[in-house]
Amino acid sequence: MLEVAALSIVLTGRAYGRRATLEVAGDTLTWRARRGHMETVPENIATTTHDVRDVTWLERRLSRGGIAIALMSFVWMGTESVLFGACTLALAAAWIAHRARRPRRWLGLDLGERWLVMRVDAPSTPDAKHLADRVRHCLLTGEVSDAPLALP
């Protein structure tokens, strides 16, 4: 496992429909996002990997919409027009292939009173997976922090 103190990264993505970042420096996590629609409110949260109660890493490579359209295309081929059904099937296959090639990735951190949920950008994926594994390791082993949180 990598040395935790040497790790200093910034995960980028989207939260609340806007750009968000999660800075990881050792065991310290600093969340920066903006929430709200008309008036945005900055959200800055500092915590540690030891304070996270649960972590979720989702990587959706499956397109439910594409599968639904593919199934409907078979129905259309049998009841309506084979040409229309075949064209629809080609569209569904393209949609399914696109989602498989460019999956949606989500990182969720449970802090007890709130969840921090970010749709992770592709370049930040390996680091987000590593962070999720690190938090799971802390949860499974019961590891506690050696020092109190130093606020940024």
Assess contact for 117 and 15: CB atoms under 8 A.
yes
And the tokens for 61?
């490579």
4-24 pLDDT per residue, tens: 455 589 999 999 989 999 999
Half-sphere CA count of 138, side-chain side, radius 13 A: 20
Give the pLDDT band of residue 50 (cuts 50, 70, 90). confident
77-101 pLDDT per residue, tens: 888 889 999 999 999 999 999 999 9
Running DSSP on this structure, what letter comes out for residue 123?
Answer: G
When the pLDDT of each residue in the chain is averaged and rounded to a whole number, the result is 86
Q: What is the mean pLDDT of residues 110-115?
A: 88
Between CA 70 and CA 132 the distance in angstroms is 34
Quote the pTM value. Answer: 0.73
Any idea where the domains of the chain sit in the sequence? Answer: 4-60+104-141, 64-101
And the tokens for 150?
């130093």
CATH of domain 4-60+104-141: 2.30.29.30
